Amino acid sequence: MAGLETAGPEDVTFLANLKYAPRVRETKAGAIIVDEEFLRHWGGDAPLPCLVSANPYLDFARAVGLFYEAPRPAAGIHPTAVIAADAAIGENASIGAYVVIGPRARIGRNAVLHPHVTIYEGAEIGDDFVAHSQASVREYCRIGDRVILQNGVVVGGDGFGFAKRADGTHEKIPQSGPTIIEDDVEIQSLSNVDRATVGETRVRRGAKIDSLVQVGHACEVGEDNIICSQAGLAGSTRLEKNVLLAGQAGLSGHLTIHEGAIVYAQGGVGGDVAAGTVVAGSPAFEAAIWRRAVTAFPKLPEMLRQLRQMEKRVAELEAAARRGQVQETKENQ
């Protein structure tokens, strides 16, 4: 399997966006995964053998899985691991070097904990869990089945909560509510999902969170959400199903992004977003209007210059009109 540019005669590639169709003539791939729209585009005369798919990107991903499988460490517990006597670990687990598992923690079957993973006291984790090096699961957090934590993920770190005293110093607010991660969630490297002051923070089934994402205390990330790198959710943000946050999107907290909504990259959201809406900009508003606005933005200096010229010309015409009126009055007298 290979991309269009790098594929050779023994490789299969794919095309999921007709925008890149001209590159197909240049690829050296042996075959290509495409949809029926691609065939119509080429009028049945494609330049290489086609594997027709209803979803080329998905089938390309599945094909990659046929050729590559990430290595899985052998089952067993490394002698340098530190595991509390009352912790429970399911069968067929692989516990790597310098892993620490705290008291009363529970981990399901087929878990893979790579070196230097830390599981705090009372954490409960389901089956087929994978945690890469330096990932941490804090006290009393709960994680479902088939969850993947990439390197450096922190589940259940303290929420950012402080109360200001009269003298201007800050009192730390205890963060008592756990973080709940449901089934089939994957969280990429160096992302944080904070615990709640009270209640819980929850990431629902199937959500995918990219690297360097901050999910604040008491947030709810909905089912099958996609949250891209460097996005930030302030406390008590609620995302419904199938929401997409593009890179560096920022949500101010105590708001709801309703089902199927999309926030463009660097969108700054300060209020609720209706279901199915696409928003952009900071502050964010409807993307179609935003596109027209950003198209006009580079033209503003010239528009301002023209406006000033028009104002000057209008002022000259008005002054001339006043002089003409005065002259007409004198003549009438």
Each residue's pLDDT, cut to its tens digit, for the chain (333 residues) gives 999 999 999 999 999 888 888 889 899 999 999 999 988 888 767 889 999 999 999 999 999 999 888 889 999 999 999 999 999 999 999 999 999 999 999 999 999 999 999 999 999 999 999 999 999 999 999 999 999 999 999 999 999 999 999 999 999 999 999 999 999 999 999 999 999 999 999 999 999 999 999 999 999 999 999 999 999 999 999 999 999 999 999 999 899 999 999 999 999 999 999 999 999 999 999 999 999 998 998 999 999 999 999 999 999 999 888 887 777 777 776
Please give the Cα distance from 30 to 218 (Å, whole number).
51
Provide the whole-model pTM: 0.88
Fold for 12-67, please state it. 3.40.1390
**Which positions are annotated as active-site residues?**
217
* CA angle, residues 218, 219, 225, in degrees to nearest 5: 155
Which pLDDT belongs to residue 254?
A: 95
Structure tokens at 244: 């997409």
Which pLDDT belongs to residue 138?
A: 98
196 secondary structure, DSSP code: B
DSSP letter string over 116-140? T-EE-TT-EE-TT-EE-TT-EE-TT
Q: Where are the domains of the chain?
A: 12-67, 298-332
Other residues' Cβ atoms within 10 Å of the Cβ of residue 107? 25
